[in-house]
Amino acid sequence: MVKRIAHELKEHLPFTALGALTGIIIMVIIVLGNVPSHISQTVFYTLHPLHVLLSALVTTAMYVRYRKAKFWVAILIGWTGSIGIATISDAIIPYLGGSLLHAQMEFHVPFIEEWWINFLALGGIAIGYWKQTTKIPHFGHVLLSTWASLFYIMAFGKAEWIPLLPFIFLFLFLAVWLPCCLSDIVYPLLFLRKEPELPSPERREIAS
Between 82 and 1, the higher pLDDT residue: 82
**Is 6 domain-assigned?**
yes
The predicted-structure confidence for 44-72, as pLDDT tens digits, reads as follows: 999 999 999 988 888 888 788 777 777 88
Helix (H, G, I), strand (E, B) or coil at 158: strand
pLDDT over threshold 70, residue 126: yes
Report the C-alpha gap between 44 and 65 in whole angstroms: 31
205 located within any domain? no
For residue 154, being part of any structural domain is answered with yes
pLDDT of residue 11: 73
pLDDT in tens, 129-164: 887 654 555 667 788 889 999 999 999 999 999 999
Q: What is the four-CA torsion angle of 124, 125, 127, 131, rounded to 10 degrees?
A: 140
Q: What percent of the chain has pLDDT over 70?
A: 78
Q: Identify the pLDDT of residue 204.
A: 47
Q: Which of 2-6, 15-19, 120-124 has the lowest mean pLDDT?
A: 2-6
Residue 1's pLDDT is what? 58
- pLDDT average, residue stretch 83-98: 93
Angle at which helix 138-156 crosses helix 2-32, to 10 degrees, equals: 50
Report yes or no on 198 lying in a domain: no
Q: Note whether residue 202 is domain-resident.
A: no
78-109 burial, b for 16+ CB within 10 Å, e for fewer? bbebbbbbbbbbbbbbbbbbbeebebebeebe
Q: For residue 80, is pLDDT > 70?
A: yes
Alpha helix ranges (H) inside the chain: 2-32, 37-66, 71-79, 85-87, 93-100, 110-113, 117-130, 138-156, 165-181, 187-189
Task: Report the mean per-residue pLDDT for the chain.
Answer: 83
How many structural domains compose the chain?
1
Q: What is the pLDDT of residue 52?
A: 93
Confidence (pLDDT) at 193: 55
Residues 58, 141: Cα–Cα separation, whole Å: 10
For 113, the domain range is: 2-189
- Residue 203 domain-assigned (yes or no): no
DSSP designation for 162:
G
Q: What is the pLDDT of residue 25?
A: 96
Is the model's pLDDT at 195 over the cut of 60? no
